[in-house]
Structure 1
């Protein structure tokens, strides 16, 4: 007997059930009984959750997230839907005593908008059995909620940036998509002066979304969001945000998204917007040159970066932090095999950064340097240990692509070594998956 069809439009519980089933069947290719065994629960319970009879507990969702390889998405979606469910339950529903909350039919516009925006962020909606056109029409409804003031949006940007540095990227993407849709809705109805400021906010949020998606290796979606960020930045007319967005696009391009030569072209094109050097662009230039094996030029670019620290433009949103200079040094000197110059930079990053992927990546730089100096077995084993350190949901594409730099540092005639073969197998493990466009 086939499994019962789930209507994800019927309720919050059934929406989550449809997504649960999708990850079990399509992502993990796992039978219901096996899922129950691995999650330490009777398989019939998972069946009830998938049918939307009730919502599972957060700890079970976290286990299923790991079992299905959902990269934090199930936990993030579960948390958002529970908040929506609680908000819906807290207000009266005349004539609907005891019924589940029906998506799109509530009286509270903010909660309905949150649900619809979350649905819009699920990506390939047809995969979940969600009808795209009705959703589109609902999303285009004009809501009367006034939205945040500018200070509130600035705080939201800071909160999302903090989340990006400390939480799994799939969770960050889930939250960002809600605010991206909300600021777009607010900007459409705002007076011109406020709309201009909201375009700036949109640019920053879209760039953060592209960052999260790059960490999830969803490069196509990341590039599209970065283009959205660029257009919004240009519309705002704010030079600092225009430079920042272009610098972000170039910098994330180095993580398996673009050819380093393309990144160099992007850096040089962006720098033409300003008469003053932009520090983030200079750091990206040094790293791109390093990836091309142009080590002397990369070291010269680092020197230019240091000279520019006192007069260069920097962003006011804390995306660029001074320790990124040390991160660029760590990258460039490690690739060149210069341990005496790279190790102090790595130590400075570890002591000052809040971003978990920077802490891991500078240690991978150290492993790359060891390999470049001829310590192939030691370097690849050191890198393998670092990849295994974070939980799967945190094992981002930024980390895996940096580990690939370690592998590429191994001379061609040494790639048959057992340590290298084992390391290569480890790198074939898929990173956390994205479900956000």
Structure 2
């Protein structure tokens, strides 16, 4: 193992991880790779724990979980395991260390995986308030634990657990890949099929397929490849990770979505493909556009547009349209007009392929973004014209875009103080979407209709009825 860095280096990584909202596994990877420490020690340092704190947490976990005859681990023993991975603890102890750090034995640098299905479902202990008090001076990681472990907790439900596990594996692989040209061609064919299916497939069903394919690509990239092959693999990972992030955003899993967009950007930058680097950033702008902050949406879309400022491509038109829509929602009319002019100009000059997929930008998609610009600049007449034109271009099975257009029609009505009709249209648009597509993002957009109404009108009967519809579980109506 290389010379170990001082603990202050790990502290700087924790501070960076907090600022960038990294998952704990990514912080572990960074500390392990930079500081020259074992993965077991990196897990402890990523949480800001001393040896004493880690041992106390270990024994408390054993006690709360009802572990009979727990190992007599102390600070010296833990330090030995951290410094000498060859001095492997017993299998049962490895299992307990995995539970302590909420990972598997590969994650702590010990060969094999000793997790048991019953223990995977067991509740994972949370740090006591004493831990928070003892570590309050250790920086933002300690603070984050006192606010509900938003950084160090691993997800409990199956989708988040699977998404988090695969994403961490992908992040690890990007740092470290033999594959034939034929295999790469097959991967490209598979990716194109996934991109076409993505348009109409519900996000939860699509997520499992994407994660399985991503894991296959990561396995192929387990060893560093020749430059040309590595570029193609990184491009594939970037695009698949972007679709995963978009699925998670639609499902309302915002923390996971944000982390996956970061992974997609890492892969895109690793590939060096400017088009893909811009596409990932433009797509990532959707998350802050719908959930805030708008400044991040504008910044990401603008960065994507500037990457392609000397090119005419569908991605460039998409980035400019996304920037225009976000600026309009922020109330910047002149900025939105300039970006919109740029979007139209690029759209008219770029080529549009015959196959439409998740990364295409056909006319109906441009009109969807124009609808947002006109809606939030208060141009209801222009917005209605664009909305009707866009709806006429969508096929019968086309995901949630038609519903989003109808909800923007409702927002126009709300801004015109047509309360009853706005709520009726919003409720109908929400219920007409298939249950599998009636996800968090659609509900959030429908609530924007209510937010567009004056506060004094939000207690009206029509508004209450819309709220009741949005509160129903998917599939109940």
What TM-score results when the alignment is normalised by the length of structure 2? 0.57
Q: Does 376-385 or 274-283 show the bigger shift? A: 274-283
- Out of 277, 281, 297, the residue aligned to residue 263 of structure 1 is 297
What secondary structure does 1:217 align onto? coil
After TM superposition, the structure 1 stretch with the greater mean CA deviation from structure 2, 174-183 or 419-428, is: 419-428
Pair 397,271 (structure 1): closer, same or farther in 2 beyond 3 Å: same
Partner of 1:197: 232
Matched, 1:319 2:354: no
Task: Return the offset for 1:201.
Answer: 0.6
Aligned to 1:55: none
C-alpha distance 314-413 of structure 1, shift in aligned 2 (>3 A): farther
Q: Alpha-carbon deviation of 1:302?
A: 2.1
Distance change (3 Å), C-alpha of 1:126 and 1:266: closer
Cα distance in 1 between the residues matched to 2:343 and 2:179 = 46
Q: 1:165 is matched with which residue: 199, 202, 213?
A: 199
| Match 1:351 to one of 367, 392, 413 | 392
Quote how far apart the aligned CAs of 1:163 are: 2.6
Compared CA separation, residues 191 and 307, structure 1 to 2 (3 A): closer
SS in 1 for 2:361: coil
Larger RCO of the pair (alpha carbons < 8 Å, separation 6+): 1
TM-score by length of 1: 0.62
In structure 2, the residue matched to 1:306 is 344
Number of residue equivalences:
304
- Cα distance between partner residues in 1 of 2:282 and 2:155: 32
Which residue number in structure 1 is paired with residue 421 of structure 2?
378
Match of 1:222 among 236, 257, 275: 257
Q: RMSD of the alignment, in Å? A: 3.5
CA distance in 2, matches of 1:192, 1:255: 37
CA distance in 1, matches of 2:156, 2:427: 38
CA deviations over 1:218-242 (Å, ceiling 9, x no partner) = 1111111111111111111111101
CA distance in 2, matches of 1:418, 1:251: 32
Q: Corresponding residue for 2:329?
A: 291
Q: Cα–Cα, structure 1 residues 378 and 127, in superposed 2: closer, same or farther, change >3 Å? A: closer
Distance 1:319 1:263 in 2: 18
Q: 389, 407, 424: which is aligned to 1:364?
A: 407
Structure-1 separation of matches of 2:423 and 2:429? 10
Post-superposition Cα deviations, 1:321-373, rounded to whole Å, max 9, x if no partner, equal 12221011112222334332122221232233353211111111111111111
Q: Within 2, Cα distance between the matches of 1:328 and 1:144? A: 43
> Structure 1 stretches of 5 or more lacking a match?
1-119, 433-437
The answer to whether the 8 Å contact 2:378/2:412 transfers is: yes
Aligned equivalents of 1:173 and 1:163: distance in 2? Answer: 12
Distance apart, 1:431 and its partner CA: 6.8
Shift of 1:175: 0.5
SS at 1:410's partner residue? coil
Aligned residue for 1:418? Answer: 461
Are the aligned partners of 2:250 and 2:439 in contact in 1 as well (CA < 8 Å)? yes
